[in-house]
A = this chain, B = another copy of it.
């Protein structure tokens, strides 16, 4: 495999000239440039990126930690990140973790050993105490409110969002409101839970354990939710569902069970993905692509600890 020296020799120039055409520097004469290009062609020359990385001290690789790659929520987030990465000539290394800490640590180690320049954590499960050890090795940016930590973050005020949604439901006459969540733990889940408790207390409403649905993520989990709903003797009249896909699953299964929406059950969800429109879902629009873009930009900025709160918009349709 030919290297830069071989090309230089073959083209009758110095390595720096080759390097210049490699990096599209200006000020290379047309003839020499042509000669170099020709030599490259002949030798099937390919840059050894490891050498480039070592020399430059950076890899132009950004790690992205996500629990699942296939869920539309993360899909859109990645899309936002990836779009911006392409623009800035970066590549992405995706770490799908399934929320296993081991996987997250692998990513952190790659940051430590300079195999990636920065790390975007879309959903964290590793503890802050561990994460803190790694911020010295490169930018780590989070997709949760991390204003109290020395990293950057792009986030949504899930507390306020949940509260707004709950109040919206309250205004529409609902007093028995439940919600779904994927994880019990995690910053976002905690914020939402707190909002729920505060809302209840504020309106003097009782807390009903059975109104909360965990481990709900995909369309198929709708079955699970509705199934339990039907066993409740005093079921909620409204549900806050944390993503459109799940909401669609719930709606679909409700239809089969003869539960009318919004008459028997009101639903308000999050994201405003395409499916939300089709299902006429009232939903809180989260600009995921924009969030992704911002996450990426924070990752390549050297500025430490930038924080950006993303605004959410209520889209009123027909499920409340």
Interface residues of A (CB under 8 A from B): 44, 46-51, 53-54, 59, 68-71, 91, 93-96, 106, 110, 112-115, 136-137, 219-220, 223, 249, 252, 256
**Which residues on the B side are within 8 Å of A71 (C-beta)?**
70
Are B49 and A113 within 8 A (Cβ)? yes
B50 & A115 in contact (Cβ 8 Å cutoff): yes
**Residues in B neighbouring A252, C-beta threshold 8 A:** 223
The docked-state distance in angstroms from the alpha carbon of A50 to that of B252 is 51
Q: How many of these chains are in the complex?
A: 2
Q: Is the CB of A113 within 8 A of B47?
A: yes
Q: CB-CB < 8 A to A91: which residues of B?
A: 106, 110
A223 to B222, CA, bound (A): 14
- Name A46's contact: one of B48, B70, B93, B112 (CB within 8 Å): B112
Cα–Cα, bound, A69→B106 (Å): 18
Which listed residue, B50, B94, B112, B220, touches A54 by the CB 8 Å rule? B50
Cα A94 to Cα B70 with chains together (Å): 13
> Complex Cα distance A251/B199, Å?
41
Whether the Cβ atoms of B220 and A46 lie closer than 8 Å is no
Cβ-closest chain B residue relative to A61? B115
For A47, what are the chain B residues with a Cβ–Cβ distance below 8 Å?
113
**A256 neighbours in B (Cβ, 8 Å):** 256
The distance from the CB of A308 to the nearest CB of chain B, in whole angstroms, is 27
The residues of B that contact A219 with a CB separation of less than 8 Å are 219-220
- State which of B44, B69, B112 has its C-beta within 8 Å of the C-beta of A96: B69
Docked pose: A136 CA to B114 CA in angstroms: 28
Q: With both chains docked as a complex, state the minimum distance between the C-beta of A266 and any C-beta of chain B, in angstroms.
A: 23
What 3 A-B pairs come out closest when comparing CB atoms?
Answer: A70-B70, A49-B113, A69-B69
Chain B residues whose CB sits within 8 angstroms of the CB of A50 once the complex forms: 50, 53-54, 59, 114-115
Given contacts A70-B68, A93-B93, A256-B256, contact A54 B46 (CB under 8 A): no
Cα separation A114 to B52 with both chains bound (whole Å): 11
Complex CA distance for A16 and B27, rounded to whole angstroms: 42
With A and B bound together, what is the CA distance between A123 and B318 in angstroms? 41
Contacting pair B59 A113 (CB below 8 A): no
CA A103 to CA B15, docked complex, whole Å: 32
Residues of B within 8 A of A220 (CB): 219-220, 249
Asked if residues B93 and A48 are in contact (CB atoms below 8 Å), the reply is no
Which B residues touch A93, using CB under 8 A? 93
In whole Å, how far is A82's beta carbon from the nearest beta carbon of chain B?
A: 10
Bound-complex Cα distance A61 to B71 (A): 26
Residues in B whose Cβ lies below 8 Å from that of A96: 69-70, 94
Chain B contacts for A110, CB-based, 8 A: 49, 91
- Nearest chain B CB to A257 CB, angstrom units: 9
User: Roughly how many angstroms separate A256 CA and B252 CA in the complex, as a whole number?
Assistant: 12
